[in-house]
Every structure is written in C-alpha cells, then in structure tokens.
Structure 1
Amino acid sequence: MTPHDTPVLRVAGRPVGRYVTRPELPPRLSPRPYLHPVTTLAGTAVTDLSPADHTHHLGVGVAVPDVEGANFWGGRTYVRDQGPSELDNHGAQRHSSFQLRDPDGFVEELRWVAAGAELLRERRTVAATELTSTAWALDFTFSLTNVTARPLSIGSPATNGRPGAAYGGFFWRARKEQRPPEVFTVDREGEAAVHGTRADWVALAGWGSAAREGEGEAESGGSWTLVFAGATEQTRQDPWFVRAEEYPGVGSSLASEERLAVAPGETAVRRIVTVVADGRLPRLEAAALVRKAVSQ
C-alpha cells in the first residue's frame, strides 16, 4: 500500500514515478522530497537513489549547495581556499502540504529550514503528460520565496571558487550503467561540449539492457533517452550542469558566474520539462518531442 503522502504519478494509467515527501535520511544528506523511481512507459528505471558514488543524490528534485551558507545539497561543502569540507551546516526541505493531488501530478508547499530557522518557502508543481506511446513528459516548476527579513543569496561551488561546478537547482540523477550515456544538444555532442552551455535542450541517451554490471535485461530494461528543456525565459538563462563519465546526471544552474540574490518577500521561479522516452532518440525526434512537451 502506498502511504497517503507518497503520491504515485501515472501516465495513461501506468505508474511512472513515486514521490517521497518525508524521507528518513541522516542530516548529512540534506533530507528533501524526491521522485524515485522514475521510469519510461515500458518500465525502465531512469533515476538512482543514494548511489555509492554520491549518496546525497536523490532521484529527481531540487537541491542547492549554498543558501547563505546552509547546504541543501548534501555531502561536503566547498569552501573557498579550502576545498570540499565536512561542515555541520546541512538544511532540510520539509513537506508542509499538498494544495492539489491528482494521478498525473500535484502542487506542494515546502519549507527550507536550516539551524532551526526557515529561510525559503517553496511551491512545487509537478505534472506528468503522455506524449506518444513510448514517451511522456515531466513538467517540474519550483518557486522559492525568501521568508526572512533580510536578503538571501544562493551560491554554488563555482561561485565559491571551484570552476565548472555550478550545480544547484533542479537536478536529475540517472542510473549508472557500464557505459556512460551519450550527451547531446541540437548542435553539440559530448559532456565537455555540453556542460555549462545555455542550450535550448540537453539529452542523455542510455544503453539499457545488461548495461549495468551483474544485471540482465529483465532488471535493467531497454535503452532510454531523457531530454531536458528550460520552459521559461528565466530558466533558459541558467547554464546546464551535465555529468556523464563520472556519473549520469543533469541539472540547471541557479548560480553559475555569480550568486543569485533573493530579496525579502521576493520569489525565484524555474520550470524544467523533461521528456522520458524509451529507446535512443535521434536529434530531430528529441527536438520535436521536447517542443511538444513544453507547449502543452
């Protein structure tokens, strides 16, 4: 039986994602709601939860390594002139309530709390939509409101002195297979060429069957493609954070060159739409599907 506060997303009656609102996790992992497992329509899993390489990676969600020094990403904190450091500075995202719940999505209220104080209040809107018989879209919008009486700013290891590490915001941790997934945009290919760009969309294409060591086809499923797109002008200004060789993951960067300031009472809003498809999509098909998904 699924707990009342653990919605299951469905597309055309098929379950494609489970949303965990109150995970029991140690403080070092920055506890937060997440989607896992997320699957293709054929049932292939395309997320990972607390993998050995990064135990603080939690499926699909929102994770930020620095909100006024509080870590809502998990793991170590990058400190300027010092490097990755173990600090007692982890925050937590706490589920408050659902404003709306349907089989294909929900609207949720969350509180971002660190050191006993609420810093941000979030409204999260998630919707699952069928695109074709082999593809669906996850529409994920989050709005972060500064509920303190002082200005807040959101940072990343990049803004704290580590070039190329501008992670923080929407983040999707995919399954690690024996072969790294292919990474491409409409006109670029490979992790090095795609990471840090402001492309309209970014795709990961995994190999699937028997690609994970020790697993057969029944366990690992078929090949898959994820296509990520910023669905608002503000979101499209955020560079993409992309990993494939070390681990498979894609996110949008809220703070790349400089910290993102959020004044008291102000709200930062981002919307990411992700196509989840069976099979390895060619560029033209990936582009067509993501256009359809964003326009719905």
Structure 2
Amino acid sequence: MVVVQAIPSVDASLTIERGAPPVAEYHVGTSLPAGVAPRPYLHPVRTRGGTVVTELMPPSHRHHLGAGIAVPEVDGANFWGGRTFVPGHGPVWLDNHGTQLHTDWLAVEPDAFAHSLSWVGTDGTALLTERRRIAARPLTASAWALDVAFALTNAAGRTVTLRSPAVLGRDGAGYGGLFWRAPAPARAFGPAGDRITELHGTPAPWLALAGPAWTLVFAGADAVTRADPWFVRVRDYAGVGSALAWRAPLTLAPAATAARRFTVVVADGELSPGEAATLSGAA
C-alpha cells in the first residue's frame, strides 16, 4: 500500500531570467515510499505566467510523480511504481519496486543541472547507471523550453532487458521513458490532428497537450528519440510519455547505452497546431 508523504525539500530548481521565480523544482525523491518506485521528479513545473502544469501523486495513480523518467520493468524490477502487469493475471501488486538513486551532482546552474543516478533492484544490485541533464531556456514572453536528456547504461555485467506492459500483452500500454502527468481536463493534438487513435502509439515530430490556460509541446531532439512512439492519455487522466519499448523489448548488452533527448515547450494559453510546431522546432 502506498502512503502519501509530504513533498521533500527542493534539491534543484530552474529559472529562466535573473530574479524571477523558478519555473520548475526538482526533487531526488529519496523519501518516497517503495510502492511508487522512488525516483527524481520535476514538480511543480510552471508556465511563465505561474500556472502549474504537473501533478504529483494524484489519488488514482499515486506513482505518477510530476515529470520524470520511469520504466515499467528492467529485468523484473518495477521502476514505474504501482502494480506490475503479469501476463494471464493483469496488474498485480508485487514487492518488486526498484529505486533510482541520485549518486552525484555533475553540474548545478540557475538554468540547468546534471546528475548521475543508479537504478537499483530490490536486492540492491545496480541494473543501470544514468547521466541526466535538465535545462530551461526562454522562447517567447509566454513560453519557455525544458530540455531533458538521459543516457541509460547497463551496469549489471550481463544483458539487461527493458519492457513495457504492451510487450507482455497489455494492449496500448507501451509507456516507459519520459513521462509527464498533467492537470485534467486536457486535449491532445499533433501534426496528424487530434484523434487519439492516430496519436497514441505512433511516432511524430511533436505532440501537444493543452488545458484551459496552458499548452505543453513534446518533441524528440534527435532522430533516435523521434523514432519512439508517443503514449498519450486524456481520458481518466492527462499524461504524455515516450516509449522505449512499445512493441518489442529494449535489450542492452553489458556496458551498452540507450540515450534520448527531448524538448518540452511550456506555454501560457492554448497554442494552435502551427504555433506548437514552430515552438517545438519541428516546423
């Protein structure tokens, strides 16, 4: 059973202009309960106008931690939090939650920070190591960009496999990678329009999630990242994520690395598709 705890102290923050309030706060997550798969996360993330565009541990999904990196399974360890999908049984509570441990700050500046992490299984074994960099930069008077880059390296000394529930048979549940839990209600749209059936599970240069007074635009910052499908949800909750292993497992040989880079535009107001494409850099 997951127990809600108070938000821990801020470990890093991002500002985009001198003297302005932070547009994002970062927590390494060391005091989180085991059932959410403890890990670093961004919350709150704010527009330049001050609107909060992340949600932390909402009642229906306590393991949704603002914006961060999460993977449902790494060699049997759950680094997503909550229940684990078991073929033939469905989602089941298991004592298999891993932890993303902060190990060292590599750089800390007002508009960017980088750190190293160790992805540790329930037996204390490091399955992956990670280098993560997060930065903020202004775009317009009403929009800024969050740049997120991570590199996961196999630290186990043997082949390690990353899986999503979709790989194990849960249709459409290909999530795992960058994940952003946003406030509801929200609508999604992309270059192909606003039909979820055409956005969900499909690679696209960019994908937008818009609420009553804000828009988030997600874009891969390199060709490898842009080849991953998007996970998008607007019914029951609002969230967008990338998919490292949508249709097939992602297998890493010893010491091999999987790296991804994203840009997320955080804007006040509802952007048009043309504005979203332009700000994402995909136009």
Q: TM-score range by the shorter chain?
A: over 0.9
One-letter amino acid of the structure 2 residue matched with residue 246 of structure 1: D
One-letter amino acid of the structure 2 residue matched with residue 106 of structure 1: F
Is 1:238 aligned with 2:238?
no
Which of residues 217, 236, 260 in structure 1 aligns to 2:250?
A: 260
Which of residues 170, 186, 211 in structure 1 aligns to 2:178?
A: 170
Distance 1:80 1:66 in 2: 13
Over 2 Å off, 4+ runs = 190-193
**What's the CA shift for 1:148?**
1.3
Q: In 2 relative to 1, CA 251–65 (structure 1 residues): closer, same or farther, beyond 3 Å?
A: same
Distance 1:139 1:231 in 2: 9
Partner in structure 2 of residue 213 of structure 1: none
CA contact (8 A) 2:192 2:198 kept: no
Give secondary structure in 1 for the equivalent of 2:274: helix
Partner in structure 1 of residue 134 of structure 2: 126
Q: CA RMSD in A?
A: 1.4
Is 1:184 aligned with 2:189?
yes
Partner in structure 2 of residue 219 of structure 1: none
- Residue pairs, 1:110-125, within 5 angstroms: 110-114=117-121, 115-125=123-133
Distance 2:226 2:270 in 1: 24
Which of residues 97, 103, 118 in structure 1 aligns to 2:110?
A: 103
**What's the CA shift for 1:291?**
0.5
Is 1:25 aligned with 2:32?
yes
Distance 2:154 2:92 in 1: 27
- Residue pairs, 1:137-216, within 5 angstroms: 137-176=145-184, 180-207=185-212
- With structure 1 as the length reference, what TM-score do the two structures score? 0.90
Distance 1:278 1:5 in 2: 24
Partner in structure 1 of residue 41 of structure 2: 34
One-letter amino acid of the structure 2 residue matched with residue 262 of structure 1: L
CA contact (8 A) 1:182 1:190 kept: no
- With structure 2 as the length reference, what TM-score do the two structures score? 0.94
One-letter amino acid of the structure 1 residue matched with residue 242 of structure 2: S
Distance 2:55 2:197 in 1: 23
Distance 1:20 1:280 in 2: 28
Q: In 2 relative to 1, CA 42–118 (structure 1 residues): closer, same or farther, beyond 3 Å?
A: same
**What's the CA shift for 1:22?**
3.4
Give secondary structure in 2 for the equivalent of 1:234: helix
Deviations 1:258-289 (A, max 9, x none): 00001100100011110000000001111111
Distance 2:193 2:112 in 1: 33
**Which 5+ residue runs of structure 1 have no aligned equivalent?**
208-222
Distance 1:256 1:187 in 2: 20
Moved more, 21-30 or 31-40: 21-30
One-letter amino acid of the structure 1 residue matched with residue 220 of structure 2: G
One-letter amino acid of the structure 1 residue matched with residue 89 of structure 2: Q
Distance 2:119 2:100 in 1: 4
Q: How many residues align?
A: 273
Distance 1:161 1:263 in 2: 24
CA contact (8 A) 2:10 2:25 kept: no
Partner in structure 1 of residue 70 of structure 2: 63
Distance 1:41 1:136 in 2: 7
**Which 5+ residue runs of structure 2 have no aligned equivalent?**
1-7
CA contact (8 A) 2:29 2:41 kept: no
Deviations 1:67-121 (A, max 9, x none): 0110000000001111101111000000011110100011110010012111100
Distance 2:142 2:270 in 1: 11
